[in-house]
């Protein structure tokens, strides 16, 4: 049994500060610096959830539809693609503003890793009149590595049933 123990004080502040730093790096497209915060064994996932009536038992399919399921090499490939300058969808550069809220930090009794739950609100500005907002929850696992805290697992629960924005061509 993996009991989650609430983390308080300076230990919690370190994790929250790391989350804020990560958001800043991603907002400013400092992807190589961000990758230093990503553990080599990263599991990076995002899903949409099917909304069904509670009493509706007709469907046997899973409620969660994963749109992103990546590991370290895929994240690195995405960054290399951005670095080529050939990705037309981000030229001119997009502007992001991320807000993190409802941050809860726990320590897993079995591993000592940090389990973090939070909500994220992102505003994405593209070109002149193209602004999109995204709201989602994240469940994450952070581990202490040689370079400080590193992201080991991120599972993003997108609040939309269908994507209303142009794409998810950014890091969540």
Alpha-carbon distance of 46 to 65, in angstroms, equals: 8
SS3 111: coil
Alpha-carbon distance of 52 to 17, in angstroms, equals: 37
Whole-number CA gyration radius for the chain:
17
Q: What is the pTM of this model?
A: 0.89
Prior bond to 55 cis, omega within 30? no
> 160 CB contacts (<8 Å, ≥6 apart)?
48, 134, 135
Q: Which of 70, 16, 46, 141 is nearest to 8 (CA)?
A: 16
Q: Which of 95, 100, 105 is nearest to 121 (CA)?
A: 100
Alpha-carbon distance of 25 to 39, in angstroms, equals: 16
**Low pLDDT (below 70) residues in the chain:** 1, 50-54, 57, 59-62, 88-91, 161-167
The terminus-to-terminus CA distance of the chain in angstroms comes to 30
Hey, which residues does 117 pair with through a beta bridge? 104, 139
The residue assigned the tokens 């670095």 is: 83
**pLDDT computed for residue 82 by the predictor:** 85
């Amino acid at each position: 049994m993996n009991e989650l123990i609430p983390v308080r004080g300076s230990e919690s502040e370190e994790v929250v500060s790391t989350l804020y730093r990560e958001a800043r790096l991603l907002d400013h497209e400092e992807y190589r610096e961000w990758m230093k915060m990503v553990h080599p064994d990263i599991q990076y996932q995002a899903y949409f959830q099917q909304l069904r009536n509670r009493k509706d038992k007709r469907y046997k399919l899973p409620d969660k539809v994963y749109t992103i399921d990546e590991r370290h090499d895929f994240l690195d490939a995405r960054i290399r693609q951005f670095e080529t300058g050939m990705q037309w969808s981000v030229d001119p550069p997009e502007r992001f503003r991320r807000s993190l809220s409802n941050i809860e930090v726990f320590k897993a009794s079995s591993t000592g890793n940090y389990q973090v739950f939070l909500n994220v609100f992102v505003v994405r500005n593209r070109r002149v009149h193209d602004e999109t907002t995204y709201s989602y929850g994240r469940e994450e696992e952070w581990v202490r590595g040689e370079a400080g805290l590193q992201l080991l697992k991120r599972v993003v629960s997108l609040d939309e049933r269908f994507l209303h924005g142009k794409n998810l061509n950014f890091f969540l």
